Structure 1
Amino acid sequence: MRRFDWRLAVGVAVVGLACLLWLVVAGILLWAVLDPADWQTVLEALGGKGGLLLFLWAGSLVPTAAALRHLIDHYLRAPAKLAEEARLLLETDVQRLPTPRGSAENRRLAEVIGQLVAQREALREDMDQRVQAASRQTELEKNRLAALMSELTKSVVVCNLDGRILLYNNRARLQFRRLSRLPTPAGGAELMGLGRSIYTVLDRKLVNHALENVQRRLRRGAGAPSAQFVTTTPSGKLLRVQMTPVRDVETSGKEARATDSMTGFVLLIENITDEMQADAEKDRILTSLTEGTRSRLANARAAAEVLEDPAISEQMRERLLDVIREEVHGLSRRIDELQPPSSAALRSRWPLEDMLGEDLVEAGMRRLESELDLQVDVEPGNQAVWLKVESFTLLQAVLHLAGRLHERCRVRKLTLRAGEQSGQGVLDLIWMPCDGASDKAELGWDQEPIQVGSETLSLTVRDVLERHGGECWIEQEINDARHRCFFRLLLPLATPQEELPAATFMRYESRPEYYDFDLFQATERTRGLDDSPLVELAYTVFDTETTGLNPAEGDEIIQIGAVRIVNGKVLTHEFFDQLVDPKRIIPPASIPIHGITPDMVKDQPTIDEVLPAFHGFCQDTVLVAHNAAFDMRCLQLKEKRTGVRFDHPVLDTLLLSALVHENQDSHRLEAIAERFGLTIIGRHTAIGDAMVTAEILVQLIPLLAEKGIHTLRQAREAAQKTYYARVNY
């Protein structure tokens, strides 16, 4: 029965009862008016036609019902339909206009609603265009900020008032990596990351003191207050830190202005350890030169004053001359001894940056082609080598050398090559054909000031190379009847910058799920986070690859991969990925699954080094894994040996999936990823599984909220009641 049909039934029943009541009343009136004889006459006239009257009475109800149905459709159902269509327009993006029906007033109301919908869509389209324009502008500003921060020579870290890191540049990440106290596998990741605390590196008291000074100056009305301090890191490094405020903004009409209150602060951090050491070395050199020279000069001066006396004997004169000669020779030796360290101290003031050899070669090729009439090629070498250079003056020197070849040797084609030789970086400037000896004599490259176009610098090529701690010479090579000459520039190497390795797509079945320990044991750290909303927690999602599936019986970890989640976002650039030497044979049957061969783990750090580094990476986060019991068991069996304890709260995406999709047959990682439309890249690599598990967790959190699970405590308690948490495999 359709909605409102009960009204039609009630209406027909009421009309029928009214007609019946009217007949009863009419009969009573007739009974009161007519005599019994008249009644007899009436009854005889009606005879056997009572049934016909009853049929006519019932038939009269049909048009009555039709009339009532029309009235209900017109005045009741039509407004109700219009209300439903209007609510659908209000709550969804449906753009279908309501159908005019019913009374004239209802049709006019439908037309007005249609006009409002059209107006809303026009406003929405205009707003979308404004949002797109604002988004483009925001993205442009973001790119400008990223470019600006990447070019800064100092580390930049932006924190909120609690000291949690909100933004940082790549130089800060590299610098914090060098400040790490943990073994190499951590790579400084335990120090730098979104959501991490700046107090793991900087002394809280110093930062708070600087913060109070800045706030005090803000209250006094200072336009650009800042504070500086020097601190020592736990690893023994000296940092110079400058703090500037991030001020709150208030709007008044269309204007916005900065207030005196702070929402956070910006730190410009500079590692001055080497600078201080260089200054100390300079002071030592100066002190040594001063103190060592004073006595020798005094002796020479005294001898010279005595020599001025004409009455001295010839023997005394010779002795005094010997003293002067000895002191002068001593001064000369002293200067020769101090020259190398003083040159090194001078070079320490020259700012060098890490640069990929491929980028340096490409920049050199562009400069040579744009400023000289030369054809420049790139010869394959070790383009992935990282060099520590001051690229501008170095390229100026290369341009000078190329210009000399072009002018004096009539060279029209050059080749650039970057590489590594005997622990030093190499940049080769190659040309052919030439006579190496005559060219070298004719070029005079090491004595002339650098000249590029009409500009002449005060530096020579030799000066630039000395400030890099490098060398340069001309060589000649014979290869396949080709006689080529080249300038070889030796340059310092830089530490290679790590990138996330590309993973291959593989699909295998998950390892079996089993729970042979209590995953839900409450710790002090767990209780401290139990009431925290899931959406506000920071997570470390990790996975392990092992030699087998029985860690209690000797199977070892051969890889740990992890990624962090902060504010509901997977931070793919903040990851931990480390192979581990298990110090035992990797079973050949397991190699096709995880793809890790014995050669890959050879010379890799052991679990004794990797686990403390991973523990630092997980600091102040909730641990998450798929089938977490297996991975946690692998970690906990090594706690006593490595001296670290994983007392973090733990969540398991296998159990959480069983909570939100309790009717699904499978909760393996592959099945869950398929349900969420996620692609598994690098299946059964630790970092690949960790990445997809992190994406799954991000999808699961809002589904848990729909089931009333909002906090860590609620998630842990609900997961503990699932079927999978009660089964021992």
Structure 2
Amino acid sequence: MKPERPEWLAALAPAALLALAAALVAAMLAATLEPAERAALWALLGPRTTLLLLLLVVVAIGAGVWMRWAWHHWGATPGRVAELLQVLLAGAPGRELEPRGSAGSRALVETVNRLLRERAVWRTEVEARVHEASRLVEQEKGRLAALMAELTQSVVVCNLDGRILLYNGRARLQFRALSPAPAIGGAEYLGIGRSIYAVFDRALVAHALEMVQQRLQRGVAHPSAQFVTATRGGQLLRVQLAPVREHEAGPLAGFVLMLDNITRDFAEESERDRRLHEHTEAGRASLANLQAAVELIDDPALDEATAARLQGVIRDEVRALGHRIGELAHYTTETMRTRWPLEDMQGADFVAAALRRIEAEHRCRTAGTEVDPALWLKLDSFSLIQALVFLAGRVVDEYGVKVVQIRLQRAGTRAQLDLAWIGPGVSTETAVAWETEAMRVDGEASALTVRDVVQRHGGTFWFERERVRAEAFFRFLLPLADAAEPLDSGLLARRESRPEFYDFDLFQTREMALELAERTLAELAYTVFDTETTGLEPSAGDEILQIGATRIVAGKLRRHESFEQLVDPQRSIPERTIAIHGITPAMVAGQPTIREVLPALHAFAQETVLVAHNAAFDLRFLELKERAAGVRFDMPVLDTLLLSQVLHPNQERHSLEAIAERLGVPVLGRHTALGDAIVTAEVFLKMIPLLQTAGIRTLGQALEASRRSALAKLSY
């Protein structure tokens, strides 16, 4: 670390004092001695001047070293204690100062620690009361989060500036699918504090809000507005906008968007309209030809050859009309067959539901035997239960079966579902007839057949009989639900049990006319990033191997909004660096290059302030690749290394580990890009109140203080 001014003064003071003392002694001797005595003294000391000067230098160096040690041991201790005390006062209770320095300093530290312990007891009592008072509010937030997670509709809540305050998992998946760009690093449209206008036209939302406000003024109790829009990726969305008010009769505080992706529905409706129009026009022409032929064929004067030709026209038009009607019927059947999507359902739950429905519909006894409770099916439960109820009804009605059983077991990569009974079997012709017959359930006919349902599931169906047990059954082979992918242990360590997809504090923010430099640190959004590289010399050919980033919005670390991507460096990786970050050539093989990754990182960091530890190092790597990637990282940048030196100039170390230890931040996942970014983000969050205490409240003040830091001259 570069020595501070007091340290320089302590080290140079002995030399200055010795020089001054030597000059004074020489002056006094010159003033009190006679010329003969001065000549004799000079004759004695002259040849030994070099030795005397060397002796003075050695004494000065020794005294300077001792004074520097004394400064560190005694002189700098109060400053270090004061800095650490500020950290402890801003942090969580329970930590204490380490006694160091002289006996007086240690006694002072012990007294301060006693006061800290008393403060911790008082603070714990206050926090307990606050926790009890806010418990009901947290319960309501928890209920809201659980409700939002279970909704099947995409819901996004924004403030009036269009900043996202809340969204559910369905919205996150839908917005991920809307993105026209490839999913690199996990960058997404959706995120707390991001602008909804990255997806929707601002004027469109403003118009919907105006409509809502007009309806509010007319006294409509629950006003809303709807619009259909196309995203940049070419998807069609139907959006319903509802207001969020500060209180029942208060002004608007924001709005709720409920979204449905109608791209597929629109395409299906367009195709249905096209077919209907095509068949209508063709049918109209066929009917006109038939009408003309019928009118002419009744003419008694018509010769046989002409009558035969007219009869041929009638046959051809009737055949063509029948063919078109058949095509339309087939299209309608196919549409109904694919109307409901396949969803995951536990096999035991499906069997229980089917048995209840069969028993209620046909007044027979039912039993679920040999049902594997661990099986999950991917099915359309409604149509498949209809098929089972239909088959069970035919068996009960036509063969007098009293007990129907359902079995469910795994059969290789599929599930084997049997509808079984003890009694007479069914002939092959009857089974085929039931399979292709339109199902009738609850007295209502369906356009679907059992075969349609089986084909919809990509399954297989047949009838079988076991003569030894006098048992007959219909067997279905159905798809199993996809196995859940194992969770990354690193993600488990980084994320909370329930991701936080909301922040109502953002209701208080407004789009400000002030420049970023004049905005307070607490209200800004940040992208905290880190890189892992092949070496320490970007200008000498070292390359980025991994980029990790996370976001801070409204003073909170958004762990679920992260960016992490390995990068193909298109060069070898030195063995010495593999030992540090653990990234091997096999891991980066086939990964995107930096030209592909930087645009995704740039999109992730839009409208935020960049934060890094030793930012000059990481930014140099980015700057060298900006032109090739076609982006420019011109966001403001804060460096936790420089800010640490601003806050704690008396501390000896400013490494990320040292700062984290000083601020009480646990260090996990070091030397992974995302792990280091998360540690840096937590350190920066701890720094914000300390900077405010030091009078550094705005971004501009933080940037200016960083520029004046002794470490600001680092370059790569």
TM-superposed CA distance for 1:317, in Å, is 2.4
- Whether 1:618 aligns to 2:608 is no
- Whether the 8 Å CA contact 1:448–1:460 is kept in 2: the answer is no
Specify the code of the residue in structure 1 equivalent to 2:254: G
Output aligned runs, 1:128-207, within 5 Å.
132=132, 135-185=134-184, 189-207=187-205
Task: Find 2:408's aligned residue among 396, 399, 414.
Answer: 414
- Whether 1:488 aligns to 2:473 is no
TM-superposed CA distance for 1:200, in Å, is 1.1
Instruction: Tell me how far apart the structure 2 counterparts of residues 403 and 555 of structure 1 sit (CA, whole Å).
Output: 74
Listed one character per residue, the Cα deviations across residues 595-636 of structure 1 (whole Å, up to 9, x for unaligned) are 333333333333222221211111100111122222212222
Instruction: Tell me how far apart the structure 1 counterparts of residues 391 and 682 of structure 2 sit (CA, whole Å).
Output: 53
Instruction: Tell me how far apart the structure 2 counterparts of residues 704 and 418 of structure 1 sit (CA, whole Å).
Output: 63
Specify the code of the residue in structure 2 equivalent to 1:219: Q
- Whether the 8 Å CA contact 2:351–2:368 is kept in 1: the answer is no
Output aligned runs, 1:237-636, within 5 Å.
237-249=235-247, 258-338=248-328, 341-346=331-336, 350-352=339-341, 360-361=346-347, 363-364=349-350, 372-377=367-372, 390=380, 393=383, 414-416=408-410, 428-429=416-417, 446=435, 462=449, 469-474=456-461, 487-489=476-478, 501-503=488-490, 528-636=515-623
Listed one character per residue, the Cα deviations across residues 148-190 of structure 1 (whole Å, up to 9, x for unaligned) are 3233333211111111111111111111112213222165x44
| Distance of aligned partners of 1:564 and 1:405 in 2 relative to their CA distance in 1, 3 Å threshold | farther
TM-superposed CA distance for 1:497, in Å, is 10
| Distance of aligned partners of 1:269 and 1:624 in 2 relative to their CA distance in 1, 3 Å threshold | same
Instruction: Tell me how far apart the structure 2 counterparts of residues 664 and 440 of structure 1 sit (CA, whole Å).
Output: 89
Listed one character per residue, the Cα deviations across residues 454-475 of structure 1 (whole Å, up to 9, x for unaligned) are x788559857965994432148
- Whether the 8 Å CA contact 1:408–1:442 is kept in 2: the answer is no
Listed one character per residue, the Cα deviations across residues 466-520 of structure 1 (whole Å, up to 9, x for unaligned) are 59944321489xxxxxxx99632359x99x99998432999xxxxxxxxxxxxxx
SS in 1 for 2:459: strand
- Whether the 8 Å CA contact 1:541–1:623 is kept in 2: the answer is yes
Please identify, of 699-708 and 659-668, the stretch whose mean Cα deviation from structure 2 is larger.
Answer: 659-668
Instruction: Tell me how far apart the structure 1 counterparts of residues 667 and 416 of structure 2 sit (CA, whole Å).
Output: 43
Instruction: Tell me how far apart the structure 1 counterparts of residues 444 and 638 of structure 2 sit (CA, whole Å).
Output: 63
- The CA RMSD over aligned residues, in Å, is 4.4
Instruction: Tell me how far apart the structure 1 counterparts of residues 454 and 405 of structure 2 sit (CA, whole Å).
Output: 28
Which structure 2 segments of 5+ residues have no match? 1-92, 94-120, 358-366, 464-472, 494-511
| Distance of aligned partners of 1:705 and 1:271 in 2 relative to their CA distance in 1, 3 Å threshold | same
Q: Aligned residue for 2:114? A: none
Instruction: Tell me how far apart the structure 2 counterparts of residues 177 and 194 of structure 1 sit (CA, whole Å).
Output: 15
TM-superposed CA distance for 1:259, in Å, is 1.0
Q: Aligned residue for 1:656? A: 643
SS in 1 for 2:705: helix
Instruction: Tell me how far apart the structure 1 counterparts of residues 492 and 298 of structure 2 sit (CA, whole Å).
Output: 92
Which structure 1 segments of 5+ residues have no match? 1-92, 94-120, 250-257, 420-425, 477-483, 507-524
SS in 2 for 1:623: strand
Percent sequence identity over aligned pairs: 49
| Distance of aligned partners of 1:450 and 1:689 in 2 relative to their CA distance in 1, 3 Å threshold | farther
Listed one character per residue, the Cα deviations across residues 55-96 of structure 1 (whole Å, up to 9, x for unaligned) are xxxxxxxxxxxxxxxxxxxxxxxxxxxxxxxxxxxxxx9xxx
SS in 2 for 1:243: strand
TM-superposed CA distance for 1:448, in Å, is 7.4
| Distance of aligned partners of 1:125 and 1:621 in 2 relative to their CA distance in 1, 3 Å threshold | closer
SS in 1 for 2:275: helix
Instruction: Tell me how far apart the structure 2 counterparts of residues 397 and 226 of structure 1 sit (CA, whole Å).
Output: 41
| Distance of aligned partners of 1:504 and 1:341 in 2 relative to their CA distance in 1, 3 Å threshold | closer
Specify the code of the residue in structure 1 equivalent to 2:639: D
| Distance of aligned partners of 1:457 and 1:696 in 2 relative to their CA distance in 1, 3 Å threshold | farther
SS in 2 for 1:709: coil
SS in 1 for 2:372: strand
SS in 2 for 1:259: coil
Instruction: Tell me how far apart the structure 1 counterparts of residues 677 and 461 of structure 2 sit (CA, whole Å).
Output: 52
Instruction: Tell me how far apart the structure 1 counterparts of residues 382 and 679 of structure 2 sit (CA, whole Å).
Output: 43
- Whether 1:216 aligns to 2:205 is no
Q: Aligned residue for 1:516? A: none
- Whether the 8 Å CA contact 1:580–1:610 is kept in 2: the answer is yes
Specify the code of the residue in structure 1 equivalent to 2:161: D
TM-superposed CA distance for 1:650, in Å, is 0.9
Instruction: Tell me how far apart the structure 2 counterparts of residues 568 and 262 of structure 1 sit (CA, whole Å).
Output: 24
Q: Aligned residue for 1:27? A: none
Listed one character per residue, the Cα deviations across residues 189-247 of structure 1 (whole Å, up to 9, x for unaligned) are 44211111111111111111111121122223221111122222222222222111111
- Whether the 8 Å CA contact 1:183–1:610 is kept in 2: the answer is no
Instruction: Tell me how far apart the structure 2 counterparts of residues 660 and 561 of structure 1 sit (CA, whole Å).
Output: 26
| Distance of aligned partners of 1:577 and 1:342 in 2 relative to their CA distance in 1, 3 Å threshold | farther
Instruction: Tell me how far apart the structure 2 counterparts of residues 405 and 575 of structure 1 sit (CA, whole Å).
Output: 57
Instruction: Tell me how far apart the structure 1 counterparts of residues 142 and 411 of structure 2 sit (CA, whole Å).
Output: 32
- Whether the 8 Å CA contact 1:471–1:490 is kept in 2: the answer is yes
SS in 2 for 1:578: strand
Task: Find 1:690's aligned residue among 677, 683, 689.
Answer: 677
| Distance of aligned partners of 1:603 and 1:310 in 2 relative to their CA distance in 1, 3 Å threshold | farther
Q: Aligned residue for 1:230? A: 228
Instruction: Tell me how far apart the structure 2 counterparts of residues 526 and 219 of structure 1 sit (CA, whole Å).
Output: 29
Q: Which has the larger radius of gyration?
A: 1
- Whether the 8 Å CA contact 1:173–1:192 is kept in 2: the answer is yes
Using CA pairs below 8 Å that are at least 6 residues apart, which structure has the higher relative contact order?
2
SS in 1 for 2:249: strand
Specify the code of the residue in structure 2 equivalent to 1:201: V
Instruction: Tell me how far apart the structure 2 counterparts of residues 150 and 723 of structure 1 sit (CA, whole Å).
Output: 49
Instruction: Tell me how far apart the structure 1 counterparts of residues 536 and 513 of structure 2 sit (CA, whole Å).
Output: 28
Specify the code of the residue in structure 2 equivalent to 1:414: L
Instruction: Tell me how far apart the structure 1 counterparts of residues 594 and 411 of structure 2 sit (CA, whole Å).
Output: 40
SS in 2 for 1:725: coil
SS in 2 for 1:638: helix
Instruction: Tell me how far apart the structure 1 counterparts of residues 139 and 162 of structure 2 sit (CA, whole Å).
Output: 28
SS in 1 for 2:712: helix
